[in-house]
Amino acid sequence: MIDSHIHVVPPRLPGVGPMNLTPEGGVAEVVRWLQAEMAASGTEQALAMGCLSTSEDDPLGVATTLEIAAQVPGLFAIGVAHPEHNQPDHLQRVEKQLATGQVKALKGYLGYLHYPPTDAGYRPYYELAEKFKIPFVFHTGDTYSPYAKVRFAHPLLIDDVAVDHPNVRFVLAHVGNPWMMDAAEVVYKNMNVWADLSGLMIGATEDFTAEENADAMADTRAQLARAFRYAERPNRFLYGTDWPLAPMTAYRDFIAASLPEACHEMIFVDNARRLFRL
């Protein structure tokens, strides 16, 4: 199983806390915790988001992620593309890091950063994604911060850049939740757009079986199932959890119960393996 969307470092986004990723014991404790979660859930590979960084030595915010990946077999890094950081020297450092092959995708934090995907600051990153044949992931949908502006995170906005950059493969994180049908339309229309299934429900393991959450879980399953059918692209959906916001085993079971079993091999393994070239 491949988890296409986790966090192993605090994202350092405006208004977003550490997400329990600064425990006593630091990196060593995160490594232990992640290894246990991956083993229990049957997750063999995972892609971890970087953090906003202003360091010249870490242009994509992946230094700590790569440190953890060196100790967790099957873990890979996704770097952060910041539209304000598009100076030639910064982009040269980004290109140098991408050339190592250690970074499997780029990510833009729509909503958290108050820029649409069509902003000129993202364009050099699209060009680099095309050059290195790596996907570009966008946060879409609801945010985890009171400082975010969700109008910038609507999945329909990705249609513009999908059309303008046909050789870039885009991923709509969180299926644009709560705008899942809009995200499904973008996936249906554009052959260069995927969606990941992460973070549709968050909480502790017991929250996924609590009676008081039954209606919310049923509603989310119904919305996801409808969007999945509408998109008619089972080969364009990627399993992901948003760990540690969701426990790996409980979330695996939640997604497995939400989508057709006949498509599980694609959703849980094959689609991500092909897209990220794992």
Domains of the chain, residue spans: 2-275
Assess whether pLDDT exceeds 80 at residue 269: yes
Q: Report pLDDT digits (tens) over 78-137.
A: 999 999 999 999 999 999 999 999 999 999 999 999 999 999 999 999 999 999 999 999
Q: What is the pLDDT of residue 20?
A: 87
Q: What is the pLDDT of residue 156?
A: 98
Q: What percent of the chain has pLDDT over 90?
A: 96
Q: What percent of the chain has pLDDT over 70?
A: 100
Assess whether pLDDT exceeds 90 at residue 194: yes
How confident is residue 69, by pLDDT bands cut at 50, 70 and 90? very high
Lowest mean pLDDT among 48-57, 59-68, 125-134, 150-159: 48-57
The CATH number of the domain covering residues in 2-275: 3.20.20.140
DSSP β-bridge partners for residue 45: 2
Give pTM, 2 decimals: 0.97
Work out the average pLDDT over 199-206: 97
Contacts of 4 (CB under 8 A, 6+ apart): 46, 47, 171, 196, 198, 238, 239, 240, 272, 275, 276
If phi > 0 it is left, if psi is from -120 to 50 it is alpha, else beta; for residue 17 that is: beta
Q: What is the pLDDT of residue 222?
A: 98
Q: What is the pLDDT of residue 126?
A: 98
Q: What is the pLDDT of residue 223?
A: 98
Work out the average pLDDT over 140-167: 97
